[in-house]
Amino acid sequence: MTTFIGIRGTAIQAVSSDPANPEVGQIWYNSSSGTLKGYKQVNAWSSAANMNTARSLPGGAGTQTATIAFGGYYPPGINTNISESYNGSSWTSTPSLNTGRRGLVSAGNQTAALGAGGYTNVPTAIYPKATELWNGSTWTTSPALLNTSRLAGAGAGTQTAALGFGGFPSVANTESWNGSTWTSVNSLNTGRGYLAGAGTQTAALSLGGTIGAPGLVNTGATESWNGTSWTTVNSLNTARSNIAGSGTQTSALAFGGALTTSGTSTGATETWNGTSWTSNPTSLATARQAMGGTGTQTASLGFGGSTTTQVSATEKWTGVGTQTLTVS
């Protein structure tokens, strides 16, 4: 007969009160209540409806139940202008970007989004500085341009108060958007592209990325923005490029990406508490890189990306943490 001590290597302890800091998988008997209790991990990724168009490096803005995804890349060599809206259960095609491109700086929400920069190959391969604004119905090209061209930079904030930072090749430049103009502000400490961002214009987080071309030197570097300057903080546990992120400066989620040593896709998920990153045992069901990410640390959406080819898969993250359960 299998016993708990044979599985876990420890006996079930009898205690008068629940332990203050139980570990995941721990079981104990509470003698005061006469109940058997356990502590389990309840964070999880679950499958959601696929996007209509499979693609990598899409822009994205919004929440787990209300997201706009725009642009991206799909073979053979197409930088698309396709835009789709997610309502919590399905994706619906919406009016397209004016300029098809991938790897845009993104900010805002489902009805008021911003996309800037990126890379296009129509009519020739260029890094456009153009900014487009989404009002819930149409995309409008703003006369304002980014000061620095960038592919696969990151963004944070809203449509009228955004921050754009990083990008390929190893861009450190940071720009602040006031709804009509981009202004260069203090740069990242570590210039990098294919990174992710979270937070607001005055309280942002930059995470991961690659220094140089994709696959050269991936990093777990994390920096915190206070509205004036970037401060280097504790790094991700898994260095990676083409990473997705969501949440705020003090409560963020990092997921997916390309690993340092091989460039292969990972489904690794990490949570940020404002001080350090914690690796979560639950990974994406489909390990991938260059995906879009929106939402909060406890309710995120991951969509698109690539494995050996572009994918349309969408996953939802429910991050309610760990939980003490009464077994009997």
Residue 293 maps to which CATH number? 2.120.10.80
Residues 28 and 140 in one domain: no
The residue assigned the tokens 């489904």 is 267
Residues 21 and 128 in one domain: no
Would 302 be classed as within a structural domain?
Answer: yes
Q: What is the mean pLDDT of residues 194-213?
A: 95
Per-residue pLDDT band for 322 (boundaries 50, 70, 90) equals low
Residues 200 and 262 in one domain: yes
Q: Per residue in 253-309, pLDDT tens?
A: 999 999 976 789 999 999 999 999 999 989 999 999 999 999 999 999 999 999 999
Would 326 be classed as within a structural domain?
Answer: no
Would 9 be classed as within a structural domain?
Answer: yes
User: Which domain, by its residues, includes 22?
Assistant: 4-41
Residues 67 and 26 in one domain: no
Residue 64: what pLDDT?
Answer: 98
Residues 123 and 233 in one domain: yes
Q: What is the mean pLDDT of residues 109-123?
A: 92
Residue 75: what pLDDT?
Answer: 87
Would 324 be classed as within a structural domain?
Answer: no
With H, G, I as helix, E, B as strand and everything else as coil, classify residue 7: helix
Residues 32 and 179 in one domain: no
Per-residue pLDDT band for 214 (boundaries 50, 70, 90) equals low
Per-residue pLDDT band for 123 (boundaries 50, 70, 90) equals low
Residue 81: what pLDDT?
Answer: 96
Would 127 be classed as within a structural domain?
Answer: yes
Residues 8 and 88 in one domain: no
Residues 32 and 118 in one domain: no
Residues 8 and 117 in one domain: no
Query: What average pLDDT is seen over the chain?
Result: 91
- What total of structural domains would you count in the chain? 2
The residue assigned the tokens 């008021």 is 112
Q: Per residue in 6-44, pLDDT tens?
A: 544 457 888 888 887 776 677 888 888 888 877 666 689
Q: Per residue in 239-253, pLDDT tens?
A: 999 999 999 999 999
**Given a cut of 60, is residue 176 above it in pLDDT?**
yes
Q: What percent of the chain has pLDDT over 90?
A: 76
Residue 26: what pLDDT?
Answer: 79
Residues 201 and 281 in one domain: yes
Residues 37 and 64 in one domain: no
Residue 125: what pLDDT?
Answer: 65
Residue 261: what pLDDT?
Answer: 65
Would 25 be classed as within a structural domain?
Answer: yes
Would 173 be classed as within a structural domain?
Answer: yes
Would 181 be classed as within a structural domain?
Answer: yes
Per-residue pLDDT band for 1 (boundaries 50, 70, 90) equals very low
Residue 218: what pLDDT?
Answer: 93
Residues 35 and 52 in one domain: no
**Given a cut of 60, is residue 167 above it in pLDDT?**
yes
Residue 324: what pLDDT?
Answer: 62
Lowest-confidence region among 30-34, 73-77, 218-222: 30-34
H or E segment at 108? strand 105-109
DSSP for 35-100 reads EEEEEEE--EEEEEPPPSS--BS-EEEE-SSSEEEE--EETTTEE---EEEE-SS-EEEEPPPSS-
Order of strands, edge to edge, in the sheet holding 222-225? 196-199, 204-207, 222-225, 230-233
